[in-house]
Structure 1
Amino acid sequence: MIGVLIVDDDYMVARIHEGFVRRCEGFEVVGVVHDPAAALEAASRLQPDLVLLDVFLPGPSGLDILAGMREAAPDMDVIVVTAAREADTVKRAVRSGAVQYLMKPFTFSDLRERLQHYRQTHRALAPGATPEQTDVDRLFATPKQTAAALPKGLSVETLQLVGQVLADAGGDLSAAEAAEAAGISRVSARRYLEHLAETGRAEVRLRYGEVGRPERRYAPR
């Protein structure tokens, strides 16, 4: 599970964001805080994987305390979640190492898309992993850029779902088995699995039976 710390001075907004994160598979909220001092303490104590960080906080801004939070939790990543739209603020967030910048107000699907993108890259770049070029490309691309690169008819969300089904399988899967696990049609599952294979994120294994064509099965790389 990816542990998420939410930092926002608006209690109601923080509660909404907490609810959004809890609805995303693979993520758990490890803490919710509302001011800079509490954010620094929580980063040190909780060691979150990811922080949803607001810019506007009482006293020092979110970006002002970001270096201190990173010092307290060196492996922490940050998604800046704020109403701030000034170009200088966006540039500063990027230079501070934010992996995403999400402007308020946003919908659940907006946040889910970015969390799914983060989850996919987070797994590929976990300690001990050996990422492929496609993994690195996903890290430096936005979810929208990833979607634009997909063949017509494929969506980022379903691709990530099929990829997760494949990763969780513990072995290889047929298109029919992947379809059942993902809740989509066999034809759709086959298209996504073939795309994963073509882009180096899955491998195809042939299972030969007594008669007929060999069955194509897919395993994560």
Structure 2
Amino acid sequence: MIGVLVVDDDFMVARIHARFVEQTDGFEVVGTAHTGADALRLVEEVDPDLVLLDVHLPDLGGLEVLARLRAAGHHTAVVMVTAERGAEAVRAALHGGAMQYLVKPFDHADLADRLHRVAAALGVLAGGNGDADQAAIDQAFGTTPLRPGSGPLPKGLSPETADLVLAAMRERTEISASEAGELVGLSRVTARRYLEHFVETAAAEVRLRYGSAGRPERRYRAR
């Protein structure tokens, strides 16, 4: 179970958030605080795995609480739960090490999604002191690698035409730039630019087919 400290100055809101936590599989509430000072004290006393932290508190603001936790060496996961939408506050939370930022009001599903994301991030790095592979790092940071072919298109190429070229390539076992151009209505040179883009972004692979004379032909296959 992941222990959660709920921090909110509004007693009713704190109660609702605590109920949301208890309704989420794998999580339990280990404490509730209504001020920044109480939040810092309870982190020391109950050592929560995760803190649901409001920005607006009557004494220390939530961002100050976050800063003090990090300055004291606490690596407790923090999810900001607040009505504050200001870009400055969001930047401060991001730079301060908050793992998620959820704007009020929200429902149980919204919070459960954030809690599970944090749990997944903590889980992939738990118990290991060696090197993490890229997949684990991506999951820990809540990022997803670009899907093949989704990189930015070079200047002069259009997404609509790229989709047509990709579809043409996927219809064939292999295709040349000339064949792709004929199917889509492009010059060989333009079709090759699209095909090479797909190779660079891992949506396709290329091989050379050697003939009796002249340069080898580049043949493209969709991944």
Q: Is the CA contact (8 Å cut-off) linking 1:39 and 1:69 kept in structure 2? A: no
- Aligned pair count? 146
Q: Is 1:132 matched up with 2:138?
A: no
CA–CA distance in structure 1, aligned partners of residues 72 and 40 of structure 2: 7
What is the CA-CA distance between 1:14 and the residue it aligns to?
Answer: 0.4
Which position in structure 2 is the counterpart of 1:99? 99
Matches within 5 A, 1:175-194: none
Q: Which has the higher mean CA deviation after the structures are superposed, 58-67 or 122-131?
A: 122-131
Matches within 5 A, 1:191-202: none
Q: Is the CA contact (8 Å cut-off) linking 2:4 and 2:31 kept in structure 1? A: yes
Query: Taking structure 1 as the reference length, what is the TM-score of the superposition?
Result: 0.61
1:65–1:137 Cα change, 3 Å:
same
CA–CA distance in structure 1, aligned partners of residues 60 and 127 of structure 2: 33
Summarize deviations over 1:103-149 as a string: whole Å, max 9, x none: 0001111111111111111111113265432121122236xx69x96
CA–CA distance in structure 1, aligned partners of residues 135 and 113 of structure 2: 18
Q: Is the CA contact (8 Å cut-off) linking 2:121 and 2:142 kept in structure 1? A: no
1:99–1:59 Cα change, 3 Å:
same
CA–CA distance in structure 2, aligned partners of residues 99 and 135 of structure 1: 16
How many percent identity over aligned positions? 48
SS of the equivalent of 1:4 reads: strand
Which position in structure 2 is the counterpart of 1:212? none
Summarize deviations over 1:78-127 as a string: whole Å, max 9, x none: 00000000000000000100000000001111111111111111111113
SS of the equivalent of 1:29 reads: strand
Matches within 5 A, 1:38-117: 38-71=38-71, 74-117=74-117
Query: Taking structure 2 as the reference length, what is the TM-score of the superposition?
Result: 0.61
Q: Is the CA contact (8 Å cut-off) linking 1:44 and 1:69 kept in structure 2? A: no
Q: Is 1:18 matched up with 2:18?
A: yes
Q: Is the CA contact (8 Å cut-off) linking 2:125 and 2:140 kept in structure 1? A: no
CA–CA distance in structure 2, aligned partners of residues 69 and 26 of structure 1: 24
Summarize deviations over 1:157-207 as a string: whole Å, max 9, x none: xxxxxxxxxxxxxxxxxxxxxxxxxxxxxxxxxxxxxxxxxxxxxxxxxxx
CA–CA distance in structure 2, aligned partners of residues 20 and 120 of structure 1: 18
User: Where in structure 1 are there 5+ consecutive unaligned residues?
Assistant: 150-221
Q: Is the CA contact (8 Å cut-off) linking 1:44 and 1:73 kept in structure 2? A: no
Summarize deviations over 1:19-55 as a string: whole Å, max 9, x none: 1111111111110010111111101111111100000
Two-structure CA RMSD over aligned residues (Å) = 2.0
SS of the equivalent of 2:78 reads: strand
CA–CA distance in structure 1, aligned partners of residues 126 and 71 of structure 2: 19
What one-letter code is carried by the residue in structure 2 that aligns with 1:108? H
SS of the equivalent of 1:90 reads: helix
SS of the equivalent of 1:101 reads: strand
CA–CA distance in structure 1, aligned partners of residues 29 and 71 of structure 2: 21
